[in-house]
Structure 1
Amino acid sequence: MCKLCVGRDSVAGAPESLSRRAALGTIAAFSLMGMSATVGRAYAKSPPKPENVLSPDQAVIRLLAGNQRYTSGKTKSRNHASTRAALVRGQNPYAGILSCADSRVGPELCFDAERGDLFVTRVAGNYVTNDILASLEYGVAVLNTPAIMVLGHTSCGAVNAAVGAFEKPAEFPGHIQNIVTELMPAVRVAASESPKKGTLLMAATIQNIRQNVQRLQQATPILDKAVQAGKLKVVGGLYHLDTGRVELIT
């Protein structure tokens, strides 16, 4: 079984002997650690963006500070040519983002970030898939990214579709049904908490953020170890479409 398949099993919960899973997981972790060491040696003297070498807490603070500039209309001026040469040598983003694919949400914009600052993954409904997980693992194990934010948003069409299917069973065309299926657990939990009428969408959106933060925090064999070692912080964020403000979700 390939290393990628091991990752899929760990997310999907497919049966496999614990000893085999542990052994293959360890091999995968060591392989990525070796890649990380190589990248680390290359950037040891001069990382492409020295200002991005931050602690997990500093990275989260920087995200929120950038969002404050964005909402206040005081974003920094950009000279993209000034960073082009440095970024040819590589990348060391200070945060990874799991964002919804919604066109109204732009992580680099809402955090007032430059190229090379954010390692962004996107999927409608901002939930963890095998490929999303693999990408974020790469960001942490190889690029030494110290923080990840799961970024949901208000009036999310994907979550709204799942809420609609929960209230009145329906099927969707093509592969859209896959998204609704993935989001349904968050909707069920939100509904079980008996939110007031008209608030299920918001409750499900927040629950979906929380569930995917937990998935990343506990994802083996890479992210959970980084969290336990204090090298990675995974947080949730809710982007408010009406103001552009990102609210931390705990």
Structure 2
Amino acid sequence: MSTLASLLAGNREHTKRVAGSFGHLQEGQQPDAVTVCCSDSRVLQADAFGTDQPGEVFTVGNIGNRVVQVHDGATVVSGDVLYPLVHTDTKTAVVLGHTGCGAVTATYDALAGDVSEPPGIEHCIDLLAPRLEAGVERLPHDLDRAAAIDRLVEYNVDAQISALSDSPHVSEDVTLAGCVYDFQDRYGGDRGEVHVINVDGERNSETIRETHPEIASRVNRYWDY
């Protein structure tokens, strides 16, 4: 079976599952959350949160789980992230990074001057690099490459949360959550588990647990800097 035929067969199963789910969505949407996830094929964005029904989550995917774009020479929050926050009354934004992120790795290499990519990919790296540069400078000097990338994954999530928080177009009543999806056993939980590392700019795990006891067991930072 060709790849396309396989995808379409999967869609047939999808239609059976969601056939009765669109009635209240014909005229619009009001998703509970917008998730900004790396488009890495190993991270199933909506499924990672157990959402399998339309209308629940507004999903944004790109390499490096970026929330920013360049407009008229200025770096601004991307329209695909802003849309649900501005137009559908969505009050939760989740930035979901992941262990072993190739975009973070490529940016790490680019900051060291050791990368050559097609223009489209280079543009994505250029959006990540200014936010990761300070993180690279903070890395302990005795880390191996994998450990450095894992720390920068968290640093990148923090940086994207900061970009949302600093934007005048993101309402102050929107909850901003930074998370990491772990399929490489870095955090000690189950493979595929989502770990909360940042809420509304707060990075201290104990403070987050005290402020949000309902998610205390899922708060787990890899790097305190």
Three-state SS of the structure 1 residue aligned to 2:97 is strand
Instruction: Give runs of ≥4 in structure 1 deviating > 4 Å.
Output: none
- Which TM-score applies when normalising by structure 1? 0.62
Structure 1 residue ranges without an equivalent (≥5): 1-77
Equivalent runs, 1:179-190 vs 2, <5 Å: 179-190=124-135
Which position in structure 2 is the counterpart of 1:154? 99
Q: By how many angstroms is 1:168 displaced?
A: 4.3
User: What is the SS of the residue equivalent to 1:206?
Assistant: helix
- State the partner residue of 2:50: 112
Match of 1:141 in 2: 86
Give the Cα–Cα distance (whole angstroms) in 2 for the partners of residues 186 and 203 of structure 1: 13
Partner of residue 98, structure 1: 36
Residue 123 of structure 2: aligned partner: 178
**Cα distance, 1:141 vs. partner?**
1.9
Mapped partners of 2:157, 2:116: distance in 1: 24
Alignment of 1:233-244 (within 5 A): 233-242=175-184, 243-244=191-192
Q: Which runs of 5+ in 2 are unaligned?
A: 1-15, 71-76, 185-190, 199-225
SS in 2 for 1:116: coil
DSSP-derived class of the 2:42 partner: coil
Name the amino acid aligned to 1:197. L
Aligned to 2:60: 121
Could you tell me whether the CA contact under 8 Å between 1:148 and 1:233 is conserved in 2? yes
Q: State whether residues 94 and 146 of structure 1, in contact with CA within 8 Å, keep that contact through their aligned partners in structure 2.
A: yes
Q: Which residue number corresponds to residue 74 of structure 1?
A: none
CA distance in 1, matches of 2:175, 2:83: 15
Displacement of 1:176 in angstroms is 1.3
Deviation (angstroms), 1:209: 0.5
Higher strand share: 2
Between structures 1 and 2, the one with greater helix share: 1
What pairs up with 1:63-82 in 2 under 5 angstroms? 79-82=17-20
SS across alignment from 2:21: helix
Q: TM-score, normalised by structure 2?
A: 0.68
Give the whole-Å Cα distance in 1 for the aligned partners of 2:121 and 2:29: 33
For residues 171 and 140 of structure 1, the distance between their equivalents in structure 2, rounded to whole angstroms, comes to 35
Q: 1:211 aligns with which of 159, 183, 194?
A: 159
Distance 2:156 2:99 in 1: 12
Mapped to 2, the partners of 1:187 and 1:96 lie a distance apart of: 23
Deviation at 1:135, TM superposition (A): 2.3
Query: What is the root-mean-square deviation in Å for CA atoms of aligned residues?
Result: 1.9
Aligned to 2:11: none
Q: How many residues align?
A: 167
2-side partners of 1:97 and 1:239: how far apart? 12
Contact 1:190 1:200 in 2 (8 A): no
- Which of the pair has the greater relative contact order for Cα pairs under 8 Å at 6+ separation? 1
